[in-house]
Chains A and B, each alone.
Chain A
Amino acid sequence: KAGVTQTPRYLIKTRGQQVTLSCSPISGHRSVSWYQQTPGQGLQFLFEYFSETQRNKGNFPGRFSGRQFSNSRSEMNVSTLELGDSALYLCASSLRQGEEAFFGQGTRLTVV
């Protein structure tokens, strides 16, 4: 079956703009989580959703937000982009909260 799909794969934005990233989980998976990966900070947890509810949030400013739809698809939004937001954004899904997570290929965001 299809894996976790993230769109777009690459994105270039200008400082001050906002961006929305999309994640389609594996069919049947109800839990979605997001991560940011940068060379300096490594992989950091952003937030997780289960049944359209945010269950956990990492230590990121309020400019980072997300949501999950009834079909389990998820989006994350970053407003007022900063240069430091340039990163690989990864989405992972699991069948139920707490089970092994399967990651997508990520969206590489570059802020200029």
Chain B
Amino acid sequence: DAKTTQPPSMDCAEGRAANLPCNHSTISGNEYVYWYRQIHSQGPQYIIHGLKNNETNEMASLIITEDRKSSTLILPHATLRDTAVYYCIVRVLYNTDKLIFGTGTRLQVFP
């Protein structure tokens, strides 16, 4: 699986958009980009995934660059409850459940 690089930490004001970047320069053509988050002492929570088109759901938007070497997770209106560690993972779909977690980005949302 391709490796990902994320900034270790970010801050965001409540109500503002949180933009979390992820580099995955060695991603293969059949690998998807997945985002999970982990709120302190809880199990990781699935957020969103995509292949090459931008994706949006009730939680977030995922913007993948045209060359697929990087992506950005956008939380449009961050709340205090969005404070968590966010993990960007690339994996082949329908092949395995194995997720390779990096160190993620610790997002702190402040009032």
Contacts and interface: CB of A to CB of B under 8 A. Distances in A.
Given A42-B103, A98-B92, A104 B97 contact: no
Contacts of B42: 105-106
Q: What range describes how many residues of A lie at the interface?
A: 20 to 34
Contact of A105 (B43, B46, B99, B103): B43
A90 B45 CA distance: 12
A110 B94 CA distance: 35
A10 B87 CA distance: 25
A44 B98 CA distance: 10
Contacts of B100: 45
Interface in A26-48: 31, 33, 35, 42-45, 48
Residue in A43, A56, A97, A102 whose Cβ sees the most chain B Cβ within 10 Å: A43
Nearest to B46: A100
29 contacts: A4-B43, A33-B97, A33-B98, A33-B99, A45-B98, A45-B99, A45-B100, A48-B97, A55-B96, A55-B97, A56-B97, A56-B98, A58-B98, A90-B44, A92-B43, A92-B44, A92-B97, A94-B97, A96-B94, A97-B94, A97-B95, A98-B94, A98-B95, A99-B93, A100-B46, A103-B45, A105-B43, A106-B42, A106-B43
Interface of B: 34, 41-46, 49, 87, 92-103
Interface of A: 4, 31, 33, 35, 42-45, 48, 50, 55-56, 58, 88, 90, 92, 94, 96-106
